[in-house]
């Protein structure tokens, strides 16, 4: 029940942010707002302040801002009507919602990275060095642990990567056979570095309801074997689990000095490219690192941009038929992701909220009937034609688009339920 309430709360907040964007831009541009509503259906509560009715309705998934003069069929508009505004004002009001979602996502990412801190692995031991790489020629060996780079102490691979990529030549201090050894490491590209980090197969956290949780795995368990294969690193443990989706596996653990054997069946997970992997729901050891405010702003901007580009590319693949609508997720899938994120910590939950907010930005700028991007397209066409499109055509297209979106949401919900059943 807690996850359901939290999911509704998150979706509700993102909808409010979106509608506030439309509302404020309308007010700033002198447009009369008749109603600001959160939700659809019958009223729960409403109150009129000035010209605007503020309402909360019974269905929480949605909302709207109703402005004066939105009906394209009228012959005359007042100065404060929406459609009486010049092109640039109408575009600003329409894009206010999506842009506020994007701004909110950036702010959430900033809070996540600077106030909460993001998870990093508190280990700098090396599992493998690729032959012919920068690390290989520098004399770095498997089993070494990096302790400093250019007199800056490192406690995680994130610390090391951050300093390594700043300069072409670095002095690296490593811990080897109870001694500190200094080496010269050239280059600043991670592609040619050639270091594979060592991470012990130690379980830090178990996801409630996952395959590991059902098989009795606990935080602090050290994985010794999967089947008949010895496990000496997290990398090997993950590879074995991922390569056996839906198969019954024997797993040997070390727990408080006792050796324990149990059976685990990795859950089958289908990736966006169609490949299938196994997943059991465990997390490796982590600590949380906070970024300075300016760095968190930079990271948040980059993360928002990368997510936007990734989503647009996925939509193109979807249109071309290279990706399936089965991979899309609706409110039910969001709820499952919220539940999982809660168990993995506040950073993961905030990060998910940011991603959903970027999703709303991208979806709403698509030029499809019933979405904000459609209004931008219509107003742009009208600006070129220097006259409005017939109101009957606009109304018909809006109805068709709205019906399609409802059918799409029902289809996505159907696939969400199928995933849960499976």
Residues with a catalytic annotation lie at 19
Q: What's the Rg (C-alpha) of the chain?
A: 27
Phi-psi region of 16 (alpha: psi -120 to 50; beta: other; left: phi over 0): alpha
8 Å CB contact between 368 and 360: no
Q: H helices of 150-254, where?
A: 157-164, 211-214, 234-242
Q: What angle do CA 274, 278, 282 make, to 5 degrees?
A: 130
Helix, strand, coil percent content, the chain, rounded in steps of 5: 45, 25, 30
282/204 Cα distance (integer angstroms): 7
Which parts of 335-393 are beta strand (E)? none
8 Å CB contact between 164 and 185: yes
Which of 244, 249, 253, 246 is closest to 201 using CA atoms? 253
């Amino acid at each position: 029940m807690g996850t359901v309430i939290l999911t509704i709360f998150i979706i509700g907040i993102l909808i409010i942010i979106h509608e506030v964007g439309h509302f404020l831009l309308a007010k700033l541009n002198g447009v009369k707002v008749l109603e600001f509503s959160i939700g659809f259906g019958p009223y729960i509560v409403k109150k009129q302040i000035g010209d605007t009715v503020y309402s909360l309705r019974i269905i929480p998934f949605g909302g709207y801002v109703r402005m004066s003069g939105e009906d394209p069929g009228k012959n005359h508009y007042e100065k404060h009507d929406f459609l009486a505004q010049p092109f640039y004002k109408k575009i600003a009001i329409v894009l206010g919602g999506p842009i506020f979602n994007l701004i909110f996502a950036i702010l959430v990412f900033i809070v996540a990275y600077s106030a909460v801190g993001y998870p990093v692995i508190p280990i700098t031991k090396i599992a493998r060095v690729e032959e012919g790489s920068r690390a290989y020629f520098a004399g770095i060996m498997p089993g070494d642990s990096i302790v400093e780079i250019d007199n800056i102490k490192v406690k995680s691979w994130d610390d090391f990567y951050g300093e390594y990529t700043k300069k072409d030549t670095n002095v690296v201090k490593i811990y080897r056979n109870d001694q500190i050894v200094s080496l010269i490491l050239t280059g600043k590209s991670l592609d040619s570095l050639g270091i594979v980090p060592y991470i012990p197969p130690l379980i830090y956290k178990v996801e409630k309801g996952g395959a590991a949780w059902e098989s009795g795995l606990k935080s602090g368990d050290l994985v010794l074997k999967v089947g008949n294969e010895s496990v000496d690193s997290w990398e090997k443990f993950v590879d074995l689990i991922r390569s056996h989706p839906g198969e019954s596996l024997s797993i040997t653990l070390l727990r408080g000095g006792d050796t324990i054997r149990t059976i685990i069946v990795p859950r089958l997970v289908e990736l966006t490219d169609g490949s299938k992997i196994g997943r059991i729901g465990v997390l490796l050891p982590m600590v949380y690192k906070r970024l300075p405010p300016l760095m968190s702003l930079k990271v948040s901007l980059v993360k928002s941009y990368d997510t936007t580009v990734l989503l647009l590319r996925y939509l193109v693949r979807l249109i071309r038929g290279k990706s399936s609508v089965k991979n899309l997720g609706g409110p039910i899938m969001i709820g499952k992701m919220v539940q999982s994120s809660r168990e993995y910590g506040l950073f993961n939950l905030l990060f998910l909220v940011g991603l959903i907010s970027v999703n709303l930005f991208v979806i709403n700028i698509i030029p499809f009937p019933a979405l904000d991007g459609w209004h931008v397209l219509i107003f742009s066409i009208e600006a070129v034609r220097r006259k409005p499109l017939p109101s009957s055509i606009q109304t018909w297209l809006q109805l068709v688009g709205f019906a399609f979106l409802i059918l799409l949401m029902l289809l996505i919900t159907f696939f969400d339920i199928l995933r849960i059943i499976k």
